[in-house]
Structure 1
Amino acid sequence: MDFNNSSLRYLHVEFNPLTEIMDENETNSTLGERNLSSCVQIRIPQELFLALGIVSLVENILVILAIIRNRNLHSPMYYFICCLAVSDMLVSVSNVVETIFMLLNDHGLLDVHPGMLRHLDNVIDVMICSSVVSSLSFLCTIAADRYITIFYALRYHSIMTTQRAVSIIAVVWLASVASSILFIVYHTDNAVIVCLVTFFCITLVFNAALYLHMFVLAHVHSRRITAFHKGRRQSTSMKGAITLTILLGVFILCWGPFFLHLILILACPTSPFCNCFFRNFNLFLILIICNSLIDPLIYAYRSQELRKTLQELVLCSWCFGM
């Protein structure tokens, strides 16, 4: 069994033969060898991957169950948040499955046919890629939802109906899975990396433009609203916008190094500095898993209704376990 090309943790090897490039550099360049040998490489134990993956998985399952259980959370915004939790859950599931396989392999407890292993790798890759595309898409969708809530408050329920929200969710998931399959099929083509990085940049610009417009004009807009109940709605909408701003900021911090990794694969695959960056890929994966772990905490902290439902679920689970 060869886990050297396994899934996301070795995605840089699959997208570009960096291992061969690094070997060639070490053979042909003494300076390159010295630079690579002086690289600081942070080693991450597999047990840490497994622990974080399990905690993240449990958290996101609780968020999904809480939104399903509480009828007060049955609104388009929380449907989109639920889908964002599902995207995070894909990262957790793929990480847990892959880590278990790697640990079993390391201890000589698993014997899997190479063909089956390749199929497993492809499934995990599709899950991870779907998570990236769907997370970015739902962040944009939530930003648009908050924008409509703030600037078209009186028409919000006619614009963002439940049926329309479900249609948007279906389109996002179909597009995410379809594009992920295409990305994995053509993973050896640099165009795949270009597409991912371009999509990442476009979504960031889109969200930044909406948030900037919301926060600059919301203050002016709120002055024109004198009725108490409408002022309250405005305050709630801005709270939702702030929550999603925090989510977007955490996403950029946690996924940023991964996308920088992809950019460097295109820009400087043979550079000793870039090769040093590539060698800490597992650290970037820990950040990605941390994003899946932090998001549910943000939901709970920013939403009193969701926090209350989560507490009830945890208490019921504990009592049932007793």
Structure 2
Amino acid sequence: MNDSSRHHFSMKHMDYMYNADNNITLNSNSTASDINVTGIAQIMIPQELFLMLGLISLVENILVVVAIIKNRNLHSPMYYFICCLAVADMLVSVSNVVETLFMLLTEHGLLLVTAKMLQHLDNVIDIMICSSVVSSLSFLCTIAADRYITIFYALRYHSIMTTQRAVGIILVVWLASITSSSLFIVYHTDNAVIACLVTFFGVTLVFTAVLYLHMFILAHVHSRRITALHKSRRQTTSMKGAITLTILLGVFILCWGPFFLHLILILTCPTNPYCKCYFSHFNLFLILIICNSLIDPLIYAYRSQELRKTLKELIFCSWCFAV
């Protein structure tokens, strides 16, 4: 399959068209306000809104990463994984900001681009978005497993989840995410990539949901048997972490779910009138994806007093430095 029929994941350069063989082809010449999905007009959203949300989410996630690095009390496997989630959200923010700025400069005649430059930009953005999705899902599963070990193997946790092992897991996840995303962009057919992403999305969510369900049920029964005070506090802390990640998972599903449903409908009913109506809301799905990157840092801060304290110090110091 030639390059013109590749499915791009870039957030606002997606224009689904149909060729003589009814295959999906894409043109990298759309804007945020005129994405055309099989001839259906898109809901118009100002590019400035994309840019503003992208910048806010980028600043928030940078603060989270810096706070975790700065505060030694947050140097634990769980917060390392949360830090990686923040970096994954940063990929979405950076790709959105770069793409929107690129488009604004081009539309106002401040930047001249060639088709080759646009293709390279699309490829880079596609890899960043795909890497963000794969890594986010992987780290949500990793954190679920970490919380499971914390609750049911509390006495062995530090021997099971060592810092070296956590770093190894992080490196493997990022390597796998970047490699798979690059392969998706370079060597793929449309339906194959969409099917792989949808399958990965479903499998990871089922795995995480089953793990959490088992964790909460057994933790409830197990809590009745705990009599030692220090163990009760340890489990309470672990359950709080599990609840935090449950909230993160729920927000992820709400924000990314419509986009993945969009991909499913592309596979199952691309010409159905009802599906076409759903396609017309694609820009709203992109806003939800960016909002996920914006909301996650707020959840981290709300659920963790230590992280919230460090973030306040960083913001206050930055404000004083600016003054």
Q: TM-score, normalised by structure 1?
A: 0.90
Q: Does the 8 Å CA contact 1:126/1:184 hold for their aligned counterparts?
A: yes
Structure 2: give runs of 5+ residues left out of the alignment: 1-7, 18-22, 28-35
Aligned pair 1:160/2:161, yes or no? yes
| Cα deviation, residue 125, structure 1 | 0.5
Residues 60 and 296 of structure 1 are in contact (CA less than 8 Å); yes or no, is this contact kept in structure 2?
A: yes
CA distance in 1, matches of 2:269, 2:134: 25
- Measure, in 2, the Cα distance between the counterparts of 1:12 and 1:235: 49
3-state DSSP class of the match of 2:271?
Answer: coil
Q: Residue 24 of structure 2 aligns to which amino acid in structure 1? A: N
Structure 2 CA distance for partners of 1:6 and 1:195, relative to 1, 3 Å: closer
In the alignment, the residues of structure 2 paired with residue 118 and residue 128 of structure 1 have an alpha-carbon distance, to the nearest angstrom, of: 15
Q: Which has the higher contact order (CA 8 A, sep 6+)?
A: 1
Alignment of 1:143-292 (within 5 A): 143-292=144-293
Q: How many residues align?
A: 303
1:16 is aligned to 2:24: yes
Take 1:143 and 1:275, find their aligned partners in 2: how far apart are those partners?
Answer: 36
| Aligned-residue CA RMSD (Å) | 1.8
Distance 2:236 2:49 in 1: 40
What is the identity percentage for the equivalent residue pairs of Structure 1 and Structure 2?
A: 80
Could you say which structure has the higher helix fraction?
1
Q: Distance in 2 between matches of 1:51 and 1:282?
A: 15
Aligned equivalents of 2:10 and 2:201: distance in 1? 21
Structure 1's 54 and 320: CA in aligned 2 closer, same or farther, altered over 3 A? same
More off after superposition, 104-113 vs 131-140: 104-113
Provide the C-alpha distance between the structure 2 equivalents of 1:231 and 1:156, rounded to a whole number of angstroms.
16
Quote the offset at 1:92 in angstroms: 0.1
Distance in 2, Cα, partners of 1:103 & 1:221? 57
2:105 is matched with: 104
- Alpha-carbon separation, structure 1, partners of 2:119 and 2:10: 9
Match of 1:76 in 2: 77
1:90 and 2:80 matched: no
Q: Give the Å deviation of 1:18.
A: 7.5
Q: Distance in 1 between matches of 2:178 and 2:98?
A: 19
Kept after mapping to 2: 8 A contact 1:53/1:289: yes
Residue segments in structure 1 that go unaligned for 5+ positions in a row: 24-35
